[in-house]
Structure 1
Amino acid sequence: MRGSGRMVFVVPIQEGKSLMKARHLAVLVAGVTALANVAACGTSSSNDNDKGSKAANIAPLDPNTKVSITVGCQPPKSSKVLRTEWNNDVTAFQQLHPNITIVSKDAFPCEDPKTFTAKLAGGQMENVYYVYLTDAKNIIANGQAADITKYVSGVKNYGSLQPQLLNVFKGGGKLYGLPKTNYSMGLLYNRKLFQQAGLNPDQPPTTWAEVQADAKKISALGNGIVGYADYSAGNQGGWHFTAEMYSQGGDIVTPDGKKAAFNSPQGHAVLQNLQQMRWTDNSMGAKQLLQIADVQPMMASGKLGMYLSAPDNIPTIKDQFQGKFEDYGLAPMPNGQGTLIGGDGYMFNPKSSPDQIKAGILWLEFENLTPGKGQFDWAQKKIDKQPVGLPQPNIFTGAPAAEELQIRKQNSNLPVDNYKAFADGDPKVKYRLEPPQAQQIYAVLDGVVSSVLTNRNADVNSLLSKAETKVNGILANAE
Structure 2
Amino acid sequence: MGMQGTGSPLNRRRFLQRSLALGAGVAGLELLAACGGGSSTTTTVTATVNTLPPSTNPGAVYVFNQVVKDFEQAYPHEHIVGKNDPYDPTTYFAKLAAGQLEDGIQSYFTEPPLLIARHAVADITNLAKSWSSFKDYIPSIASIVTRGDRVYGIPVNGYVLGIFYNRKLFQGAGLDPDKPPTTWEEFRGYAKQLTSSKVAGFAETSTANQGGWHFTNWMYTAGGDLESADGTKAVFNSPQGVSVLNFLKAMRFTDRSMTQQQLLTQADTLQLLATGKVAMVVMAPDQLNALQAQYQANLKDFGIGPMPQNGGNAALTGGNLWVFNPKSAPEVIKAAFDYVIYSNFNLVGVARSLAEPAAAGQAVGAPTAVLFQGSFQEQLSALYRK
TM superposition score category, shorter chain reference = 0.7 to 0.9
Residue of structure 2 in register with 1:151 after alignment: 127
Alpha-carbon displacement from aligned partner over 1:144-198 (angstroms, at most 9, x marks no partner) = 1121112223324323334333221112331101122221101112222222222
Pair 1:395–1:83, CA change in 2 (3 A): farther
- What aligned pairs does 1:27-66 form with structure 2 within 5 A after superposition? 37=18, 62-64=40-42, 66=44
Pairing 1:315–2:293 present? no
TM-score (norm 1): 0.68
Task: Report the Cα distance in structure 2 between the residues aligned to 1:315 and 1:75, rounded to whole angstroms.
Answer: 12
Contact 2:19 / 2:370 at 8 angstroms: preserved in 1?
Answer: no
Matches of 1:255 and 1:158, distance apart in 2: 28
**Residue type matched to 1:339 in 2?**
A
From the superposition, tell whether residues 122 and 244 of structure 1 become closer, same or farther in structure 2 (CA, over 3 Å).
Answer: same
| Number of the residue aligned with 1:458 | none
Q: Among residues 329, 332, 337, which one is paired with 2:306 in the alignment? A: 332
Choose the corresponding residue for 1:365, options 328, 341, 344.
Answer: 341
- CA positional deviation for 1:98: 2.1
Matching of residue 263 in structure 1 with residue 237 in structure 2: yes
Q: Secondary structure at the match of 1:130?
A: strand
Where in structure 2 are the equivalents of 1:128-143 lying within 5 Å?
A: 128-143=104-119
Structure 1 contact 36–396 (Cα < 8 Å) conserved: no
TM-fit CA distance, 1:216: 1.5
SS in 1 for 2:339: helix
Partner of 1:279: 253
Does 2:177 match 1:201? yes
How far is the alpha carbon of 1:389 from its aligned partner? 1.7
Tell me the secondary structure at the aligned position of residue 217 of structure 1: helix
1:138–1:385: structure 2 CA closer, same or farther, 3 Å change rule? Answer: same
The answer as to whether partners of 2:166 and 2:273 remain within 8 angstroms in 1 is yes
Letter in 2 for 1:256: D
The 3 A distance-change label for structure 1 pair 172 and 324 is same
Q: Distance in 1 between matches of 2:46 and 2:275?
A: 48
Call closer, same or farther: CA 1:247–1:380 in 2, change over 3 Å: same
Aligned partner of 2:140 in structure 1 is 164
Instruction: Give me the whole-angstrom Cα distance separating, in 1, the residues matched to 2:262 and 2:55.
Output: 36
Quick one: distance in 2 between partners of 1:245 and 1:36? 17
- Secondary structure of 2:326's partner? coil
1:246 equivalent in alignment to 2:220: yes
Q: SS in structure 2 opposite 1:70?
A: strand
After superposition, the Cα gap between the structure-2 partners of 1:408 and 1:120, relative to the gap in structure 1 and judged at 3 Å, is same
1:107 aligns with 2:84: yes
Return the offset for 1:277. Answer: 1.2
* Superposition TM-score, scaled by structure 2 size: 0.83
Q: Distance in 1 between matches of 2:333 and 2:296?
A: 43
Q: Aligned partners of 1:270, 1:376: CA distance in 2, in Å? A: 45
**What are the equivalent positions in structure 2 for 1:423-462 lying under 5 Å apart?**
none
* Cα distance in 1 for residues equivalent to 2:253 and 2:228: 31
Output the aligned Cα RMSD.
Answer: 2.8
Report the CA distance between 1:68 and its aligned residue: 3.3
How far did 1:214 drift? Answer: 1.4
Say if 1:393 and 1:90 are closer, same or farther in 2 by CA, change over 3 A.
Answer: farther
Deviates more, 1:191-200 or 1:237-246: 191-200
Equivalent residues of 1:61, 1:359 under 8 A apart: no
Q: For 1:394 and 1:324, how far apart are their aligned partners in 2?
A: 27
How much has 1:213 moved relative to structure 2? 1.4
Q: Is the 8 A contact 1:162 1:396 kept in 2?
A: yes
- Deviations for 1:327-363, whole angstroms, at most 9, x for unmatched residues? 2111111115221112222112223333333333222
Residue pairs, 1:397-416, within 5 angstroms: 397-410=373-386
Offset from partner CA, 1:432-454 (integer Å, 9 cap, x none): xxxxxxxxxxxxxxxxxxxxxxx
Instruction: Please report how far the alpha carbon of residue 115 of structure 1 lies from its aligned counterpart in structure 2 after TM superposition.
Output: 3.1
- 2:73 pairs with 1:92: no
Matched, 1:75 2:53: yes
Tell me: higher relative CO, structure 1 or 2? Use CA pairs within 8 A at least 6 residues apart: 2
Q: Distance in 2 between matches of 1:127 and 1:121?
A: 13
CA 1:252–1:114 in structure 2 vs 1: closer, same or farther (change >3 Å)? Answer: closer
Aligned pairs, number: 358
SS at match of 1:270: helix
Render the CA deviation track for 1:236-294: whole Å, top value 9, x for unaligned: 22221111011111111223333211000110110111111112222114333333233
Q: Is the 8 A contact 2:158 2:319 kept in 1?
A: yes
Aligned-residue offset at 1:36: 7.2
Residues 181 and 395 in structure 1, CA contact (< 8 A), matched pair in contact too: yes
Q: Is the 8 A contact 2:159 2:318 kept in 1?
A: yes
2 CA distance for matches of 1:84 and 1:310?
24
Deviation at 1:35, TM superposition (A): 5.1
Q: For 1:218, give the aligned amino acid.
A: L
